[in-house]
Amino acid sequence: MSDLKNFDGLVSIREIEGQGMLVVRGDFSAPAFREAVCALAGVDFPEQRQAVVRDGRGLLWMSPDELMVMLPRAEASRARADLAAKLADQHALVGDVSDARVHFQIEGRVVRETIAKLAPVDMHPDVFAPGTLRRTRFGQVATAVWLLDERTARVFCFRSVRDYMAKLLAVAADEKSEVAYFQK
């Protein structure tokens, strides 16, 4: 594969650039915590294993005490400082992980099959609905997968394994590897 950022096969795979990401840990039951992160992202607080995103900004539920805030990369550093100041009197942690993570967008009619080849996750439409977010592994890589709609997913991983992840995704999307398990 000559271009590790882009691949076209059963699905198209594109590396998303310019995405700002803040990891925020804290007490989800604290009203001040919820208000601060929702104000920063401009969206409602997500339910368990869900993502709420609008116009490139949003909140992704990562664990019972961790969110990922999505925002434009140019705003990440300042937003981290502002949010940390707002949460200074609470048990909370705010970190800018924009440079430490990479996002791939997967689009196409067999997005579920492509993910299912790599992750021990039930991708059946009755189980993994659009809006669902889940931490898992793709091969040996810790990752998170978020299903935006029936034809689009985002995959997040550490930037240090970017090339390996790109190759994994390309192999799973190879035109000779179609399974059509979830096709009607």
Q: Do 42 and 66 fall into the same domain?
A: yes
- pLDDT of 2 reads 43
Q: Does residue 184 sit within a domain?
A: no
Q: Does residue 178 sit within a domain?
A: no
Whichever domain contains 149, its CATH number is: 3.30.1360.120
Number of domains in the chain: 2
Q: Do 111 and 168 fall into the same domain?
A: yes
Q: Do 24 and 88 fall into the same domain?
A: yes
Radius of gyration of the chain (CA): 17
The residues that bridge with 51 in the sheet, in sequence order, are 60
Q: Is 19 helix (H, G, I), strand (E, B) or coil?
A: strand
Q: Does residue 39 sit within a domain?
A: yes
Predicted TM-score (pTM) of the model is: 0.89
Q: Does residue 135 sit within a domain?
A: yes
Domain range for residue 155?
6-16+100-173
**Last residue of some domain: 69, 96, 123?**
96
CB 87 within 8 A of CB 33: yes
Q: Does residue 132 sit within a domain?
A: yes
Q: Do 123 and 146 fall into the same domain?
A: yes
Q: Does residue 49 sit within a domain?
A: yes
- pLDDT of 144 reads 97
**Last residue of some domain: 37, 61, 96?**
96
> CA-to-CA distance for 136 and 146, rounded, in angstroms?
11
- pLDDT of 53 reads 95
**Last residue of some domain: 96, 117, 147?**
96
Closest to 67 (Cα-Cα) out of 30, 94, 102, 29:
94
Residues of the chain with pLDDT under 50: 1-2
- pLDDT of 1 reads 41
Q: Do 66 and 105 fall into the same domain?
A: no
Q: Does residue 181 sit within a domain?
A: no
Burial 76-103 (b: 16+ CB within 10 A, else e): beebbeebbebbeeeebebebbbeebbb
Tens of pLDDT, residues 104-143: 999 999 999 999 999 999 999 999 999 999 999 999 999 9
- pLDDT of 3 reads 63
Whichever domain contains 91, its CATH number is: 3.30.70.1520
- pLDDT of 4 reads 66
